[in-house]
Amino acid sequence: MTAPPVGVVLYGPPASGKNTITAAMHRHDPRFRLLPKLKVGAGRADGY
Protein backbone atom coordinates (compact mmCIF):
# COMPACT_ATOMS: atom_id res chain seq x y z
CA MET A 1 0.00 0.00 0.00
CA THR A 2 1.37 3.40 -0.95
CA ALA A 3 0.95 6.54 1.10
CA PRO A 4 -1.52 9.11 -0.23
CA PRO A 5 -0.17 12.36 -1.69
CA VAL A 6 0.55 15.05 0.87
CA GLY A 7 0.36 18.78 0.30
CA VAL A 8 0.65 22.09 2.10
CA VAL A 9 -1.83 24.88 1.43
CA LEU A 10 -0.64 28.40 2.15
CA TYR A 11 -3.58 30.75 2.56
CA GLY A 12 -3.53 34.47 3.19
CA PRO A 13 -4.10 37.92 1.79
CA PRO A 14 -2.15 39.27 -1.17
CA ALA A 15 1.47 40.20 -0.44
CA SER A 16 1.60 38.08 2.73
CA GLY A 17 4.61 36.06 1.56
CA LYS A 18 3.03 32.89 0.17
CA ASN A 19 5.24 32.88 -2.94
CA THR A 20 8.34 33.67 -0.85
CA ILE A 21 7.60 30.81 1.56
CA THR A 22 6.95 28.44 -1.35
CA ALA A 23 10.27 29.38 -2.97
CA ALA A 24 12.14 28.78 0.30
CA MET A 25 10.42 25.42 0.79
CA HIS A 26 11.29 24.44 -2.81
CA ARG A 27 14.97 25.27 -2.23
CA HIS A 28 14.90 22.99 0.82
CA ASP A 29 12.96 20.19 -0.90
CA PRO A 30 12.12 20.30 -4.65
CA ARG A 31 8.92 18.32 -4.05
CA PHE A 32 7.39 21.58 -2.81
CA ARG A 33 6.28 23.69 -5.74
CA LEU A 34 3.85 26.44 -6.57
CA LEU A 35 0.75 25.23 -8.36
CA PRO A 36 -1.32 27.47 -10.63
CA LYS A 37 -3.55 29.80 -8.66
CA LEU A 38 -7.30 29.80 -9.10
CA LYS A 39 -9.01 33.09 -9.85
CA VAL A 40 -12.43 33.72 -8.34
CA GLY A 41 -14.38 36.90 -9.01
CA ALA A 42 -13.64 40.05 -10.92
CA GLY A 43 -10.60 42.25 -10.51
CA ARG A 44 -6.89 41.91 -11.06
CA ALA A 45 -6.01 38.78 -13.01
CA ASP A 46 -2.19 39.05 -13.10
CA GLY A 47 -0.56 35.93 -11.71
CA TYR A 48 -3.63 33.75 -12.18
Q: How far apart are the first and last CA of the chain?
A: 36
Percent of the chain predicted with pLDDT > 90: 31
The reported pLDDT for the residue numbered 5 is 81
Average pLDDT, integer, range 28-38: 86
Q: How far apart are CA 47 and CA 22, in angstroms?
A: 15
Position 20 confidence tier, pLDDT thresholds 50, 70, 90: very high
Percent helix / strand / coil, the chain, rounded to 5: 25, 0, 75
Q: How far apart are CA 30 and CA 38, in angstroms?
A: 22
Q: How far apart are CA 10 and CA 20, in angstroms?
A: 11
Tell me the whole-structure pTM to 2 decimals. Answer: 0.64
